[in-house]
Amino acid sequence: MNAKQTIHIHLISDATGETIHLLARAALGKFAATKAIEHVWTLVRTMDHLDVIKKEISDHGGVVFYSMSDPDIRAAIEQFCQQQQTPYLSILDPAVRTLSQVLGKTATARVGAQHKMDEAYFNRMEALEFAVHHDDGQAMSSVHNADILLVGVSRSSKTPTSIYLANRGYKVANYPLVPGITPPIELMKNKDVLVVGLINEARRLSQIRRNRLESMNAEENMEYADIRKINDELNQAIKLFKEQGWPIIDVSRKSIEETAAEIINIYTQWIEEKT
Amino acid sequence: MNAKQTIHIHLISDATGETIHLLARAALGKFAATKAIEHVWTLVRTMDHLDVIKKEISDHGGVVFYSMSDPDIRAAIEQFCQQQQTPYLSILDPAVRTLSQVLGKTATARVGAQHKMDEAYFNRMEALEFAVHHDDGQAMSSVHNADILLVGVSRSSKTPTSIYLANRGYKVANYPLVPGITPPIELMKNKDVLVVGLINEARRLSQIRRNRLESMNAEENMEYADIRKINDELNQAIKLFKEQGWPIIDVSRKSIEETAAEIINIYTQWIEEKT
């Protein structure tokens, strides 16, 4: 096989580099078995900064993805890549061109305008703080202020899923089901809060919990990772979810992003049905 | 002025829609004063699902951005947009083409491959849990396990910044400076933990805190929002940061993403200097 298996990828942004980074990851995901070595350059706003980057590009080669509003720095990147015969792509250009065509106006050069601190931004920040303060069954007395409440057994990815949803602007609380402890069902029942039950395969849960006990040097507490006990726990959880009519998501083979996307779909539909 | 000021934008993804959403936001940011109405469709993997979306597109028009691995659904989107004369863009294509050229191989059709649960993924999840459990001065006894410790007065955006950095894979703790309480400096001094001090303009802090008191119905506690008291607090914070030699970031006019990007730049340089 003649194809390269490792690639250096230089990501240059005059803002935070978040968009360019996600896009590069998604595009690289289409090439199985290719390993990418990422060189990430953020807040690049001067020619001096660019000089450091040029050195790296000429040392490693590869491909350059960039997002740059300043026309001079932009031209300098392109000229340098042409000299080096390094492929380059201004990642926002196709989307900006398409929008320009529909809107009937040209783009203005503004750096990092997507990070403007508007109402949506402050809502997201508020949602993040809400999620942190309502993690793991904390502050259940104000759970009625949530949009979504995630309920699940230990290690069913409640915390990261809550945070991810908060990043998308949803106010999310999460509550852990613990064997022998009755959850505060009355607090959870609220027509304005969508409750979602999370489950995970018993075998996976056992493995995750075993790793966790080892990392905590608490291996004596093996009941936590015992597969029969876990099966009991899961059956009780599912029974509760069904009794309450809460939708159930099995997170076993899903990344947090995928679980969150499913929850958002359920939430959107739930909101539509309410109105 | 003839240009449209409101645009419907349809985002269709067979995965979580995160990349496409960020990219659309960034591209829209280049058009000042344009309001976008977003229609977000995630986990689209069947023709039936597409039928619902087609209806929305024909009802509202606008522009379609999509990311779709299935060639049949993809073709159906394109054909429909052509019929409707709705501009459309497959957002990953330019990046995939560029990579294909460099790698000398064609892309494989895999859905949501960027969400694979590899080592980096589990590190991010671990970092998120670390950030939540080390928020607001909690669990300082294990702060030595952090990569970064953020220290700042109340309302200097420590929590969302910590979470954002955790999403990027950094283990971050944060500690609030409270007047009259001596911070545990000995716990914070560790050659493997980068400590960063966050400050915010007194006037802004006062405004943010006033809003917060109002939302908590705790307006009697006005000392918290008193600008002279805040100036004292800030001066003491800056004195501490300088004594300890901790880099200082003024978050006043910065979004969380921008603050985080600065911290990552400082961290990267700090790691390079250590090695």
Phi first, then psi, for residue A191 (nearest 5°) are -65, -15
Partners of B262 on chain A (C-beta within 8 Å) are 43
Tokens encoding B70: 């299935």
Partners of A132 on chain B (C-beta within 8 Å) are 132, 135, 159, 163
Answer yes or no: is pLDDT of A16 > 90.
no
Give the model's pLDDT for residue B2.
Answer: 47
Query: Nearest CA of chain A to the CA of B184: how many Å?
Result: 23
Is the interface score ipTM higher than 0.85?
A: no
Nearest residue in B to A6, CA atom:
B103
**pLDDT band, very low/low/confident/very high, at B219 (cuts 50, 70, 90):** low
pLDDT tens-digit profile of A41-71? 988 999 999 999 999 999 999 999 999 999 9
> Residue type at B161?
T
Partners of A63 on chain B (C-beta within 8 Å) are 98-99, 102
Mean pLDDT of all residues belonging to chain A:
89
Answer yes or no: is pLDDT of A122 > 90.
no
Sheet hosting strand A194-199, strand order edge to edge: A172-177, A148-153, A194-199, A248-250
Query: Of A105, A121, A157, which to mutate for an interface test with B (greatest number of B Cβ within 10 Å)?
Result: A105
Answer yes or no: is pLDDT of B62 > 80.
yes
Least CB–CB distance from B23: residue in A23, A62, A265: A23
Chain-chain contact of A95 with B110 (C-beta, under 8 angstroms): no
Query: Of A204, A214, A255, which to mutate for an interface test with B (greatest number of B Cβ within 10 Å)?
Result: A255
Give the model's pLDDT for residue B174.
Answer: 97
Polymer length in residues for chain B: 275
Answer yes or no: is pLDDT of A2 > 60.
no
Query: Nearest CA of chain B to the CA of A185: how many Å?
Result: 25
Query: Nearest CA of chain A to the CA of B274: how many Å?
Result: 19
Least CB–CB distance from B258: residue in A16, A108, A160: A16
One-letter-per-residue 3-state SS of chain A: CCCCCEEEEEEEECCCCHHHHHHHHHHHCCCCCCEEEEEEECCCCCHHHHHHHHHHHHHHCCEEEEECCCHHHHHHHHHHHHHHCCCEEECCHHHHHHHHHHHCCCCCCCCCHHHCCCHHHHHHHHHHHHHHHCHHHCCHHHHHHCCEEEEEECCCCHHHHHHHHHHCCCCEEEEEECCCCCCCHHHHCCCCCEEEEEECCHHHHHHHHHHHHHHCCCCCCHHHHCHHHHHHHHHHHHHHHHHHCCCEEECCCCCHHHHHHHHHHHHHHHHHHHC
Among A220-224, B49-53, B148-152, the range with the most confident prediction by mean pLDDT is: B148-152
Give the model's pLDDT for residue B197.
Answer: 97
State the Cα–Cα distance between residues A182 and A179, nearest whole angstrom: 8
Partners of B265 on chain A (C-beta within 8 Å) are 42-43
Chain-chain contact of B114 with A18 (C-beta, under 8 angstroms): no
Helix (H, G, I), strand (E, B) or coil at B84: helix
Please, what is the Cα angle at A222 between A216 and A223, to 5 degrees? 125
**pLDDT band, very low/low/confident/very high, at A246 (cuts 50, 70, 90):** very high
Give the model's pLDDT for residue B264.
Answer: 92
Give the model's pLDDT for residue A113.
Answer: 65
Closest to A146 measured CA to CA, from A158, A159, A133, A160: A133
Domains and CATH numbers, chain B: 6-114 (3.40.50), 119-274 (3.40.50)
**pLDDT band, very low/low/confident/very high, at B27 (cuts 50, 70, 90):** very high
Partners of B96 on chain A (C-beta within 8 Å) are 27, 30
Torsion (CA) B216, B202, A129, B242 in degrees, nearest 10 = -140
Chain-chain contact of A67 with B30 (C-beta, under 8 angstroms): no
Closest to A63 measured CA to CA, from A113, A28, A93, A30: A28
Answer yes or no: is pLDDT of A161 > 90.
yes
Nearest residue in A to B85, CA atom:
A102
Determine which helix (DSSP H) or strand (DSSP E) holds B152, and give its type and residue range: strand B148-153
Partners of B132 on chain A (C-beta within 8 Å) are 132, 135, 159, 163
Phi first, then psi, for residue B247 (nearest 5°) are -60, 145
Chain-chain contact of B102 with A87 (C-beta, under 8 angstroms): yes
Q: Within its chain, how far is the Cα of B226 from the centroid?
A: 31
Chain-chain contact of A42 with B98 (C-beta, under 8 angstroms): no
State the Cα–Cα distance between residues A122 and B224, nearest whole angstrom: 21
Listed range (A13-17, A65-69, A87-91, B4-8) with the worst mean pLDDT: B4-8
Average pLDDT over residues B169-187: 93
Average pLDDT over residues A100-110: 83
Q: How far is CA A106 from CA A100, B3, B85, in A?
A: 5, 10, 20
Decide if A173 contacts A146 (C-beta within 8 A): yes
Average pLDDT over residues B194-203: 94
Give the model's pLDDT for residue A100.
Answer: 92
Partners of A157 on chain B (C-beta within 8 Å) are 125
Between B88 and A110, the higher pLDDT residue: B88
pLDDT tens-digit profile of B30-39? 888 888 999 9
State the Cα–Cα distance between residues A201 and A237, nearest whole angstrom: 12
State the Cα–Cα distance between residues A259 and B37, nearest whole angstrom: 25
Give the model's pLDDT for residue B51.
Answer: 94
Beta strands in B14-120 (DSSP E): 35-41, 63-67, 88-90
**pLDDT band, very low/low/confident/very high, at A115 (cuts 50, 70, 90):** low
Average pLDDT over residues B63-88: 95
Query: Of A1, A126, A132, which to mutate for an interface test with B (greatest number of B Cβ within 10 Å)?
Result: A132
